[in-house]
Amino acid sequence: MMLDYAFYLADELQTRVPAFNEPELGSPLWVLYRDRRVTIDTVKSIIEYITFGRLLPDTACIAEVGGGYGRLASLMLSTTQCTYFMFDIPPILALAEWYMGSLFPDSICPFSPANDFHELERRMRGKRVIMLTPDQIELFPDRFFDSAINIDSFSEMKPASVMNYMSHLSRTLRPGGLFYLRNAREEALSRRGAATWACPGHETYAPVPVDDFDFEINRLWPVYPAYFELLMRKRR
């Protein structure tokens, strides 16, 4: 059903479904669809590409907070010339380094405890996937990224952590840059009293600095309406 939705969405938006087959690394569980092996992670990544990835420059600098093992990163690196910055906690970062390093061995910049941007910039020169811990987002200069992404992890954090991320993501996004956010509607953020704002016909929960963004998508996620989905464009 999700793949049918992906092809429907591609037709509606008059765009292509990326020719991406999930690697067999890690022995993922797959199904056969239109003579193609796909997994749930492949499908989610394809839908995300159709929703916002296609709108990015081919050489975009992308920051993903909570990128996991790299399911979306691997699709974007395989289908565009982007540079992908993955911010995550050390145990997940170790998994991502193994996975992305196996797929893109010449393109990965492994984690380094650099605390100076010039040092970090030197290490990541010529690399396309850069591994970083959450605190290192503070090192990046203003207006550095073309896009920022958070999927499924803000609702697991304390509001202060989310607000810190939002502050830095807003600061480091270029004018016109896209921020994609998808999280559970009534998870920890709402219970802990984070800022709320209304979508037409329903409530969602996200500490979004609304003065910094124009909302291009603001809805329940059509695939699974227990989640909300935002696509925001940076104003300045």
CATH number for the domain including 191? 3.40.50.150
Specify if 20 maps to a domain: no
Q: Tell me if residue 78 falls in helix, strand or coil.
A: helix
Specify if 44 maps to a domain: no
Strand stretches in 71-137, DSSP E: 83-87, 108-109, 129-132
CA distance 198 to 191: 16
Give 177-222 pLDDT, tens digit per residue.
999 999 887 654 455 555 444 444 445 555 666 678 888 998 888 8
pLDDT at residue 188, as a whole number: 45
Specify if 17 maps to a domain: no
CA distances from 156 to 37, 95, 100, 188 (A): 31, 19, 24, 6
pTM: 0.89
Give 107-140 pLDDT, tens digit per residue.
999 999 988 999 999 999 999 999 999 999 999 9
Specify if 24 maps to a domain: no
Specify if 129 maps to a domain: yes
Task: Please state the domain count of the chain.
Answer: 1
